[in-house]
Amino acid sequence: MSSLTAKEIASCLREEGVESSRLLARGSGTKKPLWDLEETSLVEMSGFTGISEYDPSEYVFTARAGTKLSEIEQVLGEHGQYMPFDPPLAECGASLGGTVATGLSGPGRIRYGGLRDFILGVQFVDGNGVIVKSGGKVVKNAAGFDLPKFLAGSMGRLAILLELTFKVFPKPEDFLTICFENKTLADAFDQLVLASRSHWEPDALELEADGRLFLRLAGNSAALRLRAESILNKLKNGFILGTDGANEYWRKVSNFTWNGNKARYAKVPISPRDLLRLDAAVNTVDVECRYGMAANVAWLSWVNDGTTKQVDKVLRDLELSGLVLKGHAGETLIGHRVEYSIQNRVKAVFDPENRFPPLS
Amino acid sequence: MPTDNAFVSLLETIYPPGRLLLEAGSRVSYQSDGLTAFAVKPMAIVVPETSEEVIDTIKLCKRENVPFVARGSGTSLSGGSLPVDGGIVIALNRLNRILALDPTLRIARVEPGVINLDVTRAAAPHGLRYAPDPSSQQICTIGGNLAFNAGGAHCLKYGMTSNHVIAVRAVLATGEVVEFGGDSLEGVGPDWTALFAGSEGLFGVALEITLRLLPEVQAFHTVLVAYDSLEAAGQAVSDIVSSGMLPGAMEIMDALAIAAAEAAVHAGYPDGADAVLIVELEGTEEQLACEIPLLSKILDSSGAKEVRVAVDDQERALIWKGRKSAFSAVGRLSPDFIVQDGVVPRARLGEALSEVKRLGEEYNLRVANVFHAGDGNLHPLILYEGSVKGSLERAEKLAGAILNMCARMGGSITGEHGVGMEKRDYLGEMFSEEDIAFMKRIRDAYDPEFVSNPGKMFPGKEAPALSMRGLHPLEQAGVLSRE
């Protein structure tokens, strides 16, 4: 159970003598660039945990921000349910709040939607230390502004997330992964487009820079086998991955270990149209790259300190924005910075005294 | 605020006479939306044909402090597009171009006046569709869908409008033009597109909306099941949910709604049933082959009077026609009615329906029930006679009591119609004063002059005069239906 209360967390923002220091909430700390900022004190959320409400028949749970994804997945799993957007880093101990603040979804995002499509409600502390609630605790709700979705990806720079409510789905009986080996990334992309437009209902479509396409299906076991056979008749160079091989592949993708443990990893949202252009551009620098969510995101990874600047330039030239998830302090946002005229006014509503770091 | 005449002169610098409507007849046409109990005559209606005209209009409204309401087909059931006294209506129907449809990216970029169903029509030749399907989809526009985060029968599985919008180009109430989101499903930073969705026109007006398209579904399995009681139908839904299946839609109608639908469209719903349940499985043929026997088993042991499986597209369409016409059809049973929209936790549907029934008796009003059973979204239709003194007031009180019940059960005062004008006094049932004050400050950030659809969503301001009743003229003509 939780050793902290919401009121105690809210009081961090009202304590005297700390006005000068900026605050950021930290859950399990799996995404260092998000929390390790200069002159910023941490509000530790690891003591604010627990699933506060879960009724499997409602397809909805509410949990405190510090709750680990793995705990949630386990409890959901006991009732045959799951979070279809595949929140990454679950095995590494990532918390629900950190996942929301980062706006992070995994490969399963393409079938039913991402984190922003499954979040239903939020309770947060604003920069004044006031506890505010938005959204609801039922799967359908249109009352008031949709702050839960807005806060997905807000990096803890607008508010401290306290409690989060999510929609969940029944977990498919089985998963099956097909790997297609193509000579080039362009060939793999053509296959991806076909699969993405098909009625096969792929559960995940992930591209590797070497031309491999991983297509995951989810559903009833018997149905999956038949579906896979029909897909293999339509798309060339594919084979069904064994269970161990598939699990190993998806674990590397989810845990960001595909370029080793020490490397930096960044998320770069792209339009599938940007894929080949970006791939050509990153080939000029020392970066490993893979493309997830049917080529809606590029995951870049690099080891050397000096490379960060080069990646930043490549992304700026292509007007792409990136968020570094794993890596070093002070390297959160890279590439093109998007700023809206409305941004400062909305930030001032959440955080009039600038208690949290600036948005960009 | 300038005098009407002075402001009209300014509008004349943007619009030719044919697209600046001032005469009494036009002003009456725009005085109500789908919530016909409310009516406010606007000062004028402007009909822009370009984004620039919309932007110029909003800059003018801001400068002169004249309120505006953007409007598509006027199907809002919460009074969202009800004009503001002394303000203008920006009718967006001519901004109805599909600007781009990219089958490779599976996205469509559209103007706000594009009709919902036209997106799917344009996508269909590419094997794609636009998933959100409010019952009014033949006439309602994407701009209105976005502003009120419209739902439909498939929300449990596919989500609402905001789940299908990836970018918005909008003119804010300040006259600033912004572009939120992009051509990627993913983003970095807070989700500005999502915040704009469902903001009920309080932030500004969308000029271009980028929609995510989905591949067409390979196979459907649609079943119409008749029951002797609503409880039995509700229990069947619970059994389906706990089986692990994820149907595309689960809808229940009660006896009064069935009778109305039958009289209107002859969908062939079973005679004498107290409830019908529509269940639709959808997916790949292989997956359906596994799920159909499971569903049959559940339904066969659910105490059903009749289980009817649609054997072809025509039968499937007929089943849906009955359901989607239900609201307008109720107009045959009563001169006036209110469509209510609340959500309860799905497991409490039975309890909620008993309470709705009891409340109907208490207020001495008939209530027909249609609901999206999969997501606990109730649509009680409260029948009243506006010509009878006190009848509307009783109906509104009953509607309020139902909303109170939804909030009390931990649900929502609106599943998909939005708060608009109708439910603003009930926002406090779900949110604390601090929560509402916070949302108001967000509104102020977008609209410091308070000109963009003011008076909606938030409680407090006096309600406008109630002066119109009965079916919307488009409903009478059979082109508009409510959900």
Q: What domains does chain B contain, in order, with CATH numbers?
A: 1-216+421-434+465-483 (3.30.465.10), 219-328 (3.30.70.2190)
Residue B325, pLDDT score: 84
Name, of A86-100, B336-350, B421-435, the range with top average pLDDT: A86-100
For A358, nearest residue in chain B (alpha carbons): B189
Least confident of B156-165, B260-269, B412-421: B260-269
Residue B478 has pLDDT above 60, yes or no: no
Q: Do A148 and A41 contact (CB within 8 A), yes or no?
A: no
Q: Does A258 touch chain B (CB under 8 A)?
A: no
- Quick check: do A6-170 and A264-335 share a fold? no
The terminus-to-terminus CA distance of chain A in angstroms comes to 35
- Domain A174-255 in CATH 3.30.70.3450? The answer is yes
Mean pLDDT of A216-227: 95
Class of domain A6-170: alpha beta
Rg (CA), chain B: 22
Residue contacts between A and B (CB atoms, under 8 Å):
267
> What's the mean per-residue pLDDT of chain B?
91
Residue-wise pLDDT for B439-460, tens only, equals 999 999 999 999 999 999 998 7
Question: Would you say residue A17 has pLDDT above 90?
Answer: no
pLDDT at position B463 is 42
* Correct CATH for A264-335 of 1.10.260, 1.10.10, 3.20.20, 3.30.70: 3.30.70
Chain A residues near residue B242 by CB distance under 8 angstroms: 56-57
State residue B306's pLDDT score.
94
- Residue (of B338, B427, B275) closest to B77 by Cα position: B338
Chain B interface disruption, residue of A60, A109, A138, A340, most B CBs within 10 A: A138
* CA distances, B169 to each of B179, B189, B345, B446 (Å): 4, 17, 35, 15
pLDDT in tens, A105-129: 999 999 999 999 999 999 999 999 9
Band of pLDDT at residue B223, cut at 50, 70 and 90: very high
- Report the pLDDT value the prediction gives residue A192, as an integer from 0 to 100: 97
- pLDDT reported for residue B336: 87
Lowest mean pLDDT among A54-58, A220-224, B96-100, B151-155: B151-155
Taking CA atoms, what residue in A is nearest to B427?
A143
Measured between CB atoms, which of B172, B189, B413 is closest to A359? B189
Q: What is the structure's pLDDT at A249?
A: 98
Which residues of chain B does A137 touch, with a Cβ-Cβ cutoff of 8 Å?
345, 410
Query: What was the pLDDT predicted at B427?
Result: 93
Where are the strands (E) in B127-176, listed by range? 128-129, 165-172
Question: Which chain B residues have a beta carbon less than 8 Å from that of A342?
Answer: 172, 176, 178, 192, 445-446
Q: At what angle do helices A185-197 and A275-282 cross, to 10 degrees?
A: 150
Place A13 in a pLDDT band, splitting at 50, 70 and 90. confident
Please give the pLDDT value at position B462: 40
| pLDDT mean over B21-43 | 88
Q: Is A186 on the interface with B (CB under 8 A)?
A: no
- The full set of domain ranges for chain A reads 6-170, 174-255, 264-335
In terms of DSSP bridges, do strands B88-91 and B68-71 run parallel, antiparallel, or are they unpaired? parallel
- B469 falls in which pLDDT band (50, 70, 90)? very low
**What is the tens place of the pLDDT at every residue in A245-278?**
999 999 999 999 999 999 999 999 999 999 999 9
Least CB–CB distance from B186: residue in A114, A173, A226: A114
**Looking at the predicted structure, is the pLDDT value of residue B464 above 70?**
no
The dihedral built from the CA positions of residue B397, B398, B401 and B403, taken in this order, carries a sign that is negative
The structure tokens listed for B240 are: 């389906």
Q: Find the mean pLDDT for residues A19-36.
A: 90
Average pLDDT over residues B74-96: 94
In this prediction, residue A1 has a pLDDT band, given cuts at 50, 70 and 90, of low
Burial B81-94 (b: 16+ CB within 10 A, else e): bbbbeebbbbbbbe
Residue B379: HSE in the Cβ half-sphere, 13 Å Cα cutoff: 32
At B149 the three-state DSSP class reads coil
- pLDDT above 90 as % of chain A: 91
What is the three-state SS of B339-371? ECCEECCHHHHHHHHHHHHHHHHHHCCEEEEEE
> What is the model's pLDDT at position A16?
60
How confident is the model at residue A312, as a pLDDT?
96
Q: To the nearest whole percent, how much of chain B has pLDDT over 70?
A: 95
Rg over alpha carbons for chain A, rounded to the nearest Å, is 21
Using the predicted structure, report yes or no on whether residue B465 has a pLDDT greater than 50: no
CB-CB under 8 Å, B414 with A142? yes
Q: Where are the alpha helices (DSSP H) in B197-332?
A: 230-242, 255-265, 285-300, 313-324, 326-329
Full-model pTM:
0.95
Establish if A344 touches chain B: CB-CB under 8 angstroms.
no
List B139's β-bridge partners, or say none. none
pLDDT at B476: 52
Residue A18 pLDDT > 80, yes or no? no
Q: Does A173 score more than 50 pLDDT?
A: yes
Cβ neighbours of residue B189 under 8 Å, at least 6 residues apart? A103, A153, A154, A155, A321, A338, A359, A360
- Residue whose tokens read 């109907």: B360
List of residues 6+ apart from A114 with CB closer than 8 A:
A85, A103, A105, A293, B185, B186
Residue A111 Cα, gap to closest chain B Cα (Å): 9
Q: Any chain B CB within 8 A of the CB of A199? A: yes
**In this predicted model, what pLDDT tens digit does every residue of A150-163 receive, in sequence order?**
999 999 999 999 99
Segment A325-352, tens digit of pLDDT: 999 887 899 999 988 989 999 999 999 9
**Confidence (pLDDT) at B320:** 92
Residue B393: pLDDT over 50: yes
Residue owning tokens 């921000």: A65
pLDDT of residue B479: 45
Looking at residues A28-37, what average pLDDT do you find?
95
Q: What is the pLDDT of residues A96-110, one digit of tens each?
A: 999 999 999 999 999
- Mutation site for B-interface testing, chosen from A141, A336, A351 by largest number of B Cβ within 10 Å: A141
Provide the shortest C-alpha distance from residue A223 to chain B (in Å): 5
CB B85 within 8 A of CB B27: no
In the predicted model, what is the mean pLDDT of residues B213-224? 96
Nearest by CB: B191 against A56, A153, A272: A153
Q: What is the mean pLDDT of chain A?
A: 95
pLDDT at B113 over 70: yes
In the structure, what pLDDT confidence band is assigned to residue A319 with cuts at 50, 70 and 90? very high
- Predicted confidence at residue B475, as pLDDT, reads 53
pLDDT of residue B467: 37
